[in-house]
Amino acid sequence: MPAMSDSRFENLTTGILALQGAFHEHAVALEKCGATARKVRRRRDLAGLDALVIPGGESTTIGKLMVSYHLLDEIKGLGAEGLPMLGTCAGLVMLAREVVDGDQPLLGLMDIKVRRNAFGRQVKSFEAALDVQALGEDPFPGIFIRAPWIESAGPGVDILAEYDGHGIAARQDKMLVTAFHPELTDDLRLHELFLRMVYEDRR
Ligand code: GLN
């Protein structure tokens, strides 16, 4: 997909939690779409954001770092107030209300229960062409790296895509999550969908 900077996104400032994981790639993708990207490491970096991305990485590590940087409760509060958020892979885990067999710090902002590293030991990483109707007819290149899946979801959650019968992308109000890594492809449709949600939220 060619980069399609959209002037509607020019005034949007999107934070990317930058404690661990694939945060830089999200910043590049958001800027290609025309938005401003700001890395978030301290509480003060959250001021005045229009949206926040929780990237992939290792959710146990990201959660622990969020606690020690005093960001967990702060971000939970912003989410409860309606700040739009995008969570990819470990970010999907962080946004979940519950992890199967897990006990780790979570934001718990989406009514989903997730299974970490769900696709099995042998197949830790793979690519698949995904049918995601919300992104249009063309298949989306899904990159899965020790990815979670959505085990169950509450009634307010829209499952946007499935793979092997399991939810791998979902939306609830202004929260969007994927088990795969759109920031590691040059297909900007998922980031554009998120920025459209953010833009509509601001109007
Ligand atoms: N397996 C990781 C976790 O549960 C997620 C992997 C990823 O973000 N690529 O945190």
> For 8-59, what is each residue's pLDDT tens digit?
999 999 999 999 999 999 999 999 999 999 999 999 999 999 999 999 999 9
The first and second tokens of residue 171, run together, are 């939306």
- Minimum CA distance residue for ligand 1 atom 5: 90
Average pLDDT estimate for 142-164: 97
The first and second tokens of residue 173, run together, are 């109000």
Report yes or no: 144 and 127 within 8 Å, Cβ to Cβ: yes
Our answer on whether the CB atom of 114 is closer than 6 Å to any ligand 1 atom is: no
Q: What's the mean pLDDT when you consider all of the chain?
A: 95
pLDDT > 60? residue 109: yes
Residue 139 lies in a domain: yes
Report the predicted TM-score, pTM, of the whole model to 2 decimal places: 0.95
Residue 68 lies in a domain: yes
Residue 170 lies in a domain: yes
Report yes or no: 7 and 166 within 8 Å, Cβ to Cβ: no
Residue 2 lies in a domain: no
pLDDT > 70? residue 1: no
Give the whole-number percent of the chain exceeding pLDDT 90.
91
Segments forming the whole domain that contains residue 23 = 7-202
Residue 192 lies in a domain: yes
Residue 90 lies in a domain: yes
Our answer on whether the CB atom of 195 is closer than 6 Å to any ligand 1 atom is: no
Residue 174 lies in a domain: yes
Ligand 1 pocket: which of 61, 98, 100, 116 to mutate (most atoms within 8 A of CB): 116
Residue 1 lies in a domain: no
Q: What is the pLDDT of residue 122?
A: 55
Q: What is the pLDDT of residue 121?
A: 67
Report the CATH number at residue 98.
3.40.50.880
> For 47-96, what is each residue's pLDDT tens digit?
999 999 999 999 999 999 999 999 999 999 999 999 999 999 999 999 99
* DSSP-derived 3-state class of residue 196: helix
Q: Rounded to an integer, what distance in angstroms lies between the CA atom of residue 32 and that of residue 26?
A: 10
Tell me which H or E stretch contains 111. Answer: strand 110-115
pLDDT > 60? residue 3: no
Tally the domains of the chain.
1
CA of 143 to the centre of ligand 1 (A): 12
The number of the ligand 1 atom at minimal distance from the alpha carbon of 57 is 8
Our answer on whether the CB atom of 184 is closer than 6 Å to any ligand 1 atom is: no
Question: Which string of b and e fits 168-201 if b means at least 16 CB within 10 Å?
Answer: bbbbbbbbbbbbbbbbbbebbbbbbbbbebbbee
Average pLDDT estimate for 144-167: 97
Residues designated as active site: 89, 181, 183
Our answer on whether the CB atom of 58 is closer than 6 Å to any ligand 1 atom is: yes
**Vertex 160: Cα angle to 155 and 166 (nearest 5):** 80
Our answer on whether the CB atom of 59 is closer than 6 Å to any ligand 1 atom is: yes
